Structure 1
């Protein structure tokens, strides 16, 4: 287990936890790196400085130092600044070290408490979308799900998320194995998948099981590939399924946070 040093509270003489002391100039200069990572493009000095809430004169010395380290490089033609080779290397190494499944599993208990219903994490398995973890909600009434269950591509919120963001060939093969060989050619199903892509949320009510509803949302890695799906399931009578419902917001917020930890761009980018 790797523990971040910033997560370890410093102690004063009375053994009282206090905020760890950092180096302010590093934190200030780091805003320039954050802007470049968020925008994903090279920027002129004045634009980069403005986005980092500092003057160009203040930003330039930081950029010079970052350039010497390889964190930033300047285009010789335009003069614009972008992330350098060391930043690229750090990003690739970070992606190699991060396990999306481990991150998602760690988040499920708190997510179930916030939502108030059973939540799950699923990945693409040998037979299609496969539930790898289930966390029951705090309510007395919950819907049982099992680890290892393969989700229907046609009738479950989880399956439809994978259908919306997976490769057409792989999705078509899974649908055919389920008995829906021509589902992708059905206008209604195609429109439903397009809505999932637009809202990054799939909602299913009373489809696979009467009285049961579910919502699901995708998690992406730094290469823009969907790596897993978060879902919430519960009785239709008590599970809000609106696109702007608290359940939808909690799911999407959790998925976005996981995606960002996996290297996906932020919402501002």
Structure 2
């Protein structure tokens, strides 16, 4: 059987050449002089200028009247926002989570914030037997699980404070929640924000460890948590271990595709 060879698609080289100027502005993230912009794009200033005039007419770039520096224009912003609006965080994460599960052999699941708290919506099973009842729809404890701690650390406090305080008795083993309990949990959330990861080791389920990482959107809001879970002996919970490194990279890559570019600073603290 003979197969027709796929014909190479026709391109317009000048558009690809001029596009290097847009990419240079994007990488720089600020205003640039013509000479610096041309150098970054790998062309002489005289060649770069006509492209910039055309891009300016379209609104893809704009020039400061005082300094003469160039930056991305209003059309570039509109195109970026249109692209962000069509993104579905869960859909963006699915392939990455499957790849992470295949690479590590560990159970990986995605959680979103639901009406009752962090809720599992996608689950990739571990290669190792784990006697834990987690399925789609499972709601995770805010205080007692790595997934819950991620949401506790990065969700706006005013939205979750009551639910969080109601959940703290689990952390206290069913005892009354004291000021000291709240302060200890509050400090753990500061550590979560600093590391960008939450961890539980053999708790609340003996012999089972978990690490969880946040996924942010272009506004710096947490939209997902990705959690890796496995049994002691085959799951490395070290902060700088292979599992933690792979999980951070997975969540970071998804966040980047959702337009996240800077660390979200959450300074809210629990009140006793």
Structure 1 vs Structure 2 CA RMSD:
2.7
Cα distance, 1:108–1:57 mapped onto 2, change above 3 Å: same
Q: What's the offset of the Cα at 1:69? A: 1.5
1:79 alignment partner in structure 2: 68
- Retained in 1: the 8 A contact 2:106–2:128? no
Q: Report the Cα offset of residue 144 of structure 1.
A: 4.7
Alignment of 1:95-110 (within 5 A): 95-110=84-99
Q: For 1:88 and 1:100, how far apart are their aligned partners in 2?
A: 20
Shift in CA distance, 60/195, structure 1 to aligned 2, threshold 3 Å: farther
Of 241, 256, 267, 1:245 maps to: 241
Compute the displacement of 1:19 (Å). 7.1
Query: Which structure has the greater CA radius of gyration?
Result: 2
Q: Would the aligned equivalents of 2:220 and 2:262 in 1 still touch at CA under 8 Å?
A: no
- The answer to whether the aligner puts 1:37 opposite 2:33 as a matched pair is no
Shift of 1:199: 2.2
1:173 matches 2:169: no
Q: For 1:264, which of 260, 265, 271 is the aligned residue?
A: 260
Q: Which residue is equivalent to 1:188? A: 184
Matched residue SS, 1:147: coil
Aligned partners of 1:214 and 1:232 also within 8 Å: yes
Equivalent residue pairs, number: 254
In the superposition, the TM-score normalised over structure 1's length comes to 0.82
- Report whether the alignment pairs 1:224 with 2:220: yes
SS at match of 2:203: coil
Deviations 1:58-77 (A, max 9, x none): 43333222212111111222
Q: TM-score, normalised by structure 2?
A: 0.82
Equivalent of 2:231, from 217, 231, 235? 235
> SS at 1:255's partner residue?
helix
Between 92-101 and 141-150, the greater mean CA deviation after superposition: 141-150
Extract unaligned runs of 5+ from structure 2.
170-176, 264-272
**Partner secondary structure for residue 178 of structure 1:** helix
The aligned counterpart of 1:6 is: none
Q: Distance in 2 between matches of 1:157 and 1:193?
A: 11
| Residue matched to 2:134 | 145
2:61 is the counterpart of 1:67: no
Contact 1:72 1:87 in 2 (8 A): yes
Q: Gapped runs of 5+ residues in structure 1?
A: 1-12
The verdict on how the C-alpha distance between 1:24 and 1:245 changes in structure 2, with shifts beyond 3 A counting, is farther
